[in-house]
């Protein structure tokens, strides 16, 4: 490794592979030879004779997997610790104010303390300035021995070779054995683990995928375990003291994952096992399960979409969706909605066994950075954590419930107001009722965005300790509010419009056919959602980048529009470009898809073509999500998971609601059963509902959620892992030769059990039991009085 030459520095050339950009000078720091001083960010520190290992010029292996971005200066126009040669080039730097100088000094002290801790843990660091020299970018890596020690300490599971059933087993060091036992306790397990290399000469850390390295390095950085730094990264990010913390992308694997041709990109839709494994190895289990579910949803939706197009053609000929085809399509859709999430859980189990997460147990999660409360010692970890009393949370639950009730009433009033305006003013605007239908769809989409913000605020007030608890409670709030906002108008048109007045005014359905009215409103909502939502999802990262360029990086707003921002981004190193992007949010993607799923299933009997439109929309959404994840967002930290919960349960709830809604719509709102009495309709509805429940019960009996072959393979893998790690050989017949050779004493057989007299049979003594209970009560009363 050598610093950039004067010509390269003056020209501002970029070399992301080396880790420097422009005039930024790099320095590598190794955990084995920690050197950190005032000049560690300058090229002069490279000539001090310190040993430098794992330099970025090494191409044999990937040396740095994580990245931290620290604040260095309050502004790129402020002078701070520049060398004389740099001041000649940058003469416009202004002197900082005393407050700015003090703030930068505090940043430096905290930064040095963090980097010292990382070095002392044995991590390798490579630090360099950002393009504008207002940030310090630190690449973090670990050597092979550090990875092995960390994996052994945290019992990290690694993939075994195919001859060992491709099971996952905790990593263990080889044990040479003890001489006093004639080395009989020797354990050699290093040959069991699968190596991940493209040639026949694996590196010393080839048993670790990049995914494993990221997890292990993240553990060393954040954990308070032995030989770990214990850096509170979440708190630093929340407080704004750390600007970015992310895994680094890999250019070639990412390019291969995205695909160059449309046939290769279509693999994200077809989702063969190889593609799913690639996504999992790069992004982790949680994101892999998301794209697996989307591909699974597309495959299940395709036959319904084809049938829906055929039935839509019949509806056009019949001039109404309320015809004889509605009955079989309603039953088919109800069964489809019920079976979809169930068979998806079976698919989850098949991939979980291949990814080693089928037996994943819930572990104690760390506190969220936003969690606040009275500092107390956690009885499990013995660490000081914020404690929030359960009584206060119950009180806030009550406040949340009251807020949701008020907000629901406001939503109903606003939506009924739109419906009333549509009835009163439909002849006073151009396009008539269509204008109000588009206005309703726009209102629903805009309000859905604000409902997400409100649900997030209410969940933040509840002050949940872990991120999973926070997301689960937020999910149910979002489901309730968006279900009401998105589908209230459709429920009103289907069941109430023709039967009750609206604010005293008699309203009629379109052409006196509520199915046609419902079909029109549903179609406009679906069209508006599939077009506008995907456009916004694609444009949102670019809008955020423009906002950051205008207000955070002090750039002119018009430079982004003229393309100058792309040139500025190209002048940055690869790590700096990735740090400028927005973090990935999987919650938002699944939330949007859940609402789309509701449109495609709740009232599809009236508009069968909606299934085909949803099919096309979901395909486009998968490609948009793929581009956003790979190019527009930071690489997320991998998360282990064995299911897609709680979203699988959410889709299951929607499936039950959709099945019931379609049956109610068919029986009570259709004209097919006008000759039936209300009692007959109710009995018919209960009969169909019970048949669906019976089908669901039979489904669990015939097709369990975890397939039997998966359970059998799991048992075989557990047995294989146990035998391999303990060096247990399989013997079909019991070998007693060892006992005959090593056993000198004879086995003596007695006439009867000599120990039988020592066993006392228990007897029931009521008086003694009452005396013991009285003494216990009195002792408890005395202890209570002494404590008070």
Q: What is the pLDDT of residues 17-75, one digit of tens each?
A: 333 333 344 445 544 433 443 334 433 333 333 333 444 444 456 889 999 999 998 88
Residue that has been written with the tokens 């997400």 in this structure = 452
Positive or negative: CA dihedral 80, 81, 87, 89: negative
Alpha-carbon span 116 to 229, nearest angstrom: 9
**Residue with tokens 């938002």, as numbered in its chain:** 588
State the pLDDT at residue 12: 35
DSSP-assigned letters across all residues of 353-382? HHTT-TTPPP--PPPPTT---EEEE-TTT-
pLDDT of residue 569: 64
Q: How far apart are CA 560 and CA 580, in angstroms?
A: 14
DSSP 33: B
The C-alpha atoms of residue 353 and residue 166 are separated, in whole angstroms, by: 10
Q: Which residues are CB-contacts of 294 (< 8 A; sequence separation ≥ 6)?
A: 593, 618, 621, 622, 625
Quote the radius of gyration of the chain (alpha carbons, Å).
33
| CA separation for the pair 643, 648 (Å, rounded) | 8
Q: How far apart are CA 147 and CA 29, in angstroms?
A: 17
The pLDDT tens digits for 192-219 are 999 988 777 778 888 999 999 999 999 9
- Bridge-based pairing state of the strands 66-71 and 20-21: unpaired
CA 518 to CA 607: how far, in whole Å? 8
Residue located via tokens 């992004």: 283
Q: Apex CA 285: angle with CA 283 and CA 289, to 5°?
A: 105
The confidence score (pLDDT) of residue 22 equals 36
The pLDDT value recorded for residue 43 is 35
- Write down the pLDDT at residue 53: 41
Specify whether the CB–CB gap between 641 and 285 falls below 8 A: yes
Rounded CA separation 765/211 (Å): 64
CA–CA separation, 506 vs 608, rounded Å? Answer: 29
- Is residue 625 within 8 Å of 589, Cβ to Cβ? yes
Per-residue confidence (pLDDT) for residue 124, from 0 to 100: 94
Query: Going by DSSP bridges, is the β-strand pair 14-15/27-29 parallel, antiparallel, or unpaired?
Result: unpaired
C-alpha–C-alpha distance, residues 474 and 454, integer Å: 10
Q: How far is the C-alpha of 232 from the C-alpha of 245, rounded, in Å?
A: 11
Q: What pLDDT, on a 0 to 100 scale, did the predictor assign at position 198? A: 74
Axis-axis angle for helices 390-425, 433-462 (nearest 10): 170
pLDDT tens by residue, 229-282? 989 998 899 888 899 999 999 989 999 999 888 888 899 999 999 999 999 999
Taking the chain, what is the end-to-end CA distance rounded to the nearest angstrom?
70
If you count them, how many residues does the chain have?
788
Query: If we measure between CA atoms, which residue out of 535, 541, 625, 554 comes closest to residue 580?
Result: 541
Backbone angles phi, psi at 279, to 5 degrees: -65, -40
- Backbone dihedral angles phi then psi of residue 66, each to the nearest 5 degrees: -120, 165
Which SS3 state, helix, strand or coil, does residue 78 take?
A: strand
Q: What is the DSSP string of 137-166?
A: EEEEEE-HHHHHHHHHHTT-EEEBPGGGTT
Provide the whole-model pTM: 0.83
pLDDT by residue (tens digit) across 353-398? Answer: 999 999 888 777 888 888 888 888 888 878 888 888 888 889 999 9
Q: Which residue has the tokens 């030459």?
A: 5
Please list the residues that pair with 244 across neighbouring strands: 69
List residues bridging with 129 in a β-sheet.
136
Q: How many whole angstroms separate alpha carbon 367 and alpha carbon 224?
A: 13
Parallel, antiparallel or unpaired: strands 168-170 and 157-159: antiparallel
Name 151's Cβ contacts closer than 8 Å, sequence gap at least 6.
Answer: 158, 171, 208, 212, 216
Torsion sign (Cα): 169, 172, 176, 180: negative
Instruction: Look at residue 758 in the predicted model and tell me its pLDDT.
Output: 59
Bridge partners (DSSP) listed for residue 160? 193
Question: Which residues have C-beta within 8 Å of that of residue 214, sequence separation ≥ 6?
Answer: 65, 66, 247, 637, 638
Query: What's the pLDDT at 737?
Result: 57
Query: What is the per-residue pLDDT for 419?
Result: 87
| Contacts (Cβ under 8 Å, ≥6 apart) of 783 | none
Positions of the chain with pLDDT lower than 50, given as ranges: 1-27, 30-59, 556, 562-564
Q: What pLDDT shows up at residue 747?
A: 78
Question: In the numeric block, which tokens belong to residue 619?
Answer: 């395909």
State the Cα–Cα distance between residues 441 and 488, nearest whole angstrom: 12
Structure tokens at 54: 């794992």
């Amino acid at each position: 490794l050598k610093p950039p030459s004067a010509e390269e520095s003056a020209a501002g050339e970029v070399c992301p592979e080396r880790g420097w950009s422009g005039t930024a000078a790099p320095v590598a720091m190794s955990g084995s030879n920690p050197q950190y001083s005032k000049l560690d960010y300058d090229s002069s520190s490279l000539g001090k004779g310190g040993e430098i290992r794992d330099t970025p010029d090494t191409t044999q292996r990937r040396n740095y997997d994580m990245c931290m971005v620290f604040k260095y200066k309050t502004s790129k126009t402020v002078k701070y610790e520049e060398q004389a040669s740099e001041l000649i080039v940058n003469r416009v730097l202004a002197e900082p104010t005393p407050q700015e100088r003090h703030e930068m000094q505090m940043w430096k002290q905290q930064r040095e303390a963090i980097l010292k801790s990382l070095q002392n843990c044995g991590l390798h660091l490579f630090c360099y300035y950002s393009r504008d020299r207002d940030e310090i970018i630190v690449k973090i890596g670990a050597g092979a021995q550090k990875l092995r020690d960390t994996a052994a300490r945290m019992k990290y599971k690694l993939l075994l070779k195919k001859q060992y059933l491709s099971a996952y087993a905790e990593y263990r060091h080889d044990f040479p054995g003890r001489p006093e036992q004639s080395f009989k306790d020797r354990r050699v397990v290093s040959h069991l683990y699968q190596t991940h290399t493209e040639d026949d000469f694996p590196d010393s850390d080839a048993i670790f995928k990049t995914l494993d390295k990221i997890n292990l390095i993240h553990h060393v950085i954040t954990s308070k375990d032995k030989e770990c730094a214990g850096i509170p990264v979440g708190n630093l990010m929340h407080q704004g003291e750390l600007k970015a913390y992310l895994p680094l992308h890999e250019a070639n694997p990412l390019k291969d994952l995205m695909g160059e041709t449309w046939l290769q990109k279509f693999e994200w839709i077809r989702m063969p096992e190889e593609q799913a494994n690639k996504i999992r190895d790069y992004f982790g289990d949680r994101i892999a399960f998301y794209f697996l579910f989307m591909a699974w949803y597309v495959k299940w939706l395709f036959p319904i979409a084809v049938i829906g197009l055929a039935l839509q053609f019949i509806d056009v000929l019949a001039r109404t969706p309320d015809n004889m085809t509605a009955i079989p399509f309603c039953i088919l859709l109800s069964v489809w909605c019920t079976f979809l999430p169930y068979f998806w859980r079976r698919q989850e189990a098949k991939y979980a066994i291949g990814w080693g997460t089928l037996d994943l147990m819930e572990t104690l999660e760390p506190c969220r950075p936003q969690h606040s409360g009275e500092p107390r010692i956690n009885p499990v970890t013995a660490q000081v954590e914020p404690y929030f009393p359960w009584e206060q949370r119950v009180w806030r639950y009550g406040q949340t419930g009251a807020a949701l009730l008020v907000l629901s009433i406001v939503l109903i009033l606003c939506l009924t107001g739109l419906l009333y305006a549509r009835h009163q003013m439909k002849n006073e605007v151009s396009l008539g009722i269509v204008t109000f239908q588009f206005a309703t769809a726009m209102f629903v989409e805009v309000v859905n965005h604000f409902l997400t913000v409100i649900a997030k605020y209410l969940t933040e007030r509840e002050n949940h300790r872990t991120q999973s608890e926070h997301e689960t409670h937020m999910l149910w709030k979002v489901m309730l509010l968006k279900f009401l906002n998105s589908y209230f108008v459709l429920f009103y048109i289907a069941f109430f419009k023709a039967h009750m007045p609206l604010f005293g005014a008699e309203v009629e359905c379109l052409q006196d056919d509520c199915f046609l009215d419902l079909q029109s409103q549903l179609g406009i909502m679906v069209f508006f959602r599939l077009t506008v939502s995907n456009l916004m999802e694609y444009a949102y990262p670019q809008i955020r980048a423009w906002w950051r360029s205008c207000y955070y990086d002090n750039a002119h707003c018009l430079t982004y529009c003229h393309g100058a921002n792309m040139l500025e981004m190209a002048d940055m190193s690869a790590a700096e470009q990735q740090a400028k992007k927005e973090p990935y949010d999987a919650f938002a993607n699944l939330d949007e898809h859940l609402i789309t799923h509701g449109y495609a299933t709740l009232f599809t009997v009236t508009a069968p073509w909606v299934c085909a439109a949803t099919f096309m929309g979901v395909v486009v959404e998968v490609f948009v999500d793929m581009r956003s994840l790979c190019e527009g967002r930071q690489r997320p930290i991998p998360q282990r998971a064995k299911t897609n919960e709680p979203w699988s349960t959410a889709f299951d709830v929607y499936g039950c609601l959709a099945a019931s809604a379609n049956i109610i719509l068919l029986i009570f709102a259709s004209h097919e059963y006008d000759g039936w009495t209300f009692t007959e309709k109710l009995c018919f509805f209960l009969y169909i509902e019970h048949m669906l429940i019976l089908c669901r019960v039979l489904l669990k009996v015939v097709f369990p959620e975890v397939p039997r072959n998966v359970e059998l393979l799991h048992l075989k893998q557990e047995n294989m892992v146990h035998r391999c790690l303990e060096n247990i050989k399989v013997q079909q017949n019991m070998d007693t030769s060892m006992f005959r050779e090593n056993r000198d004493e004879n086995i003596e057989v007695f006439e009867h059990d000599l120990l039988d007299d020592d066993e006392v049979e228990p007897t029931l003594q009521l008086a003694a039991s009452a005396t013991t209970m009285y003494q216990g009560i009195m002792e408890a009363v005395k202890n209570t009085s002494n404590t008070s």
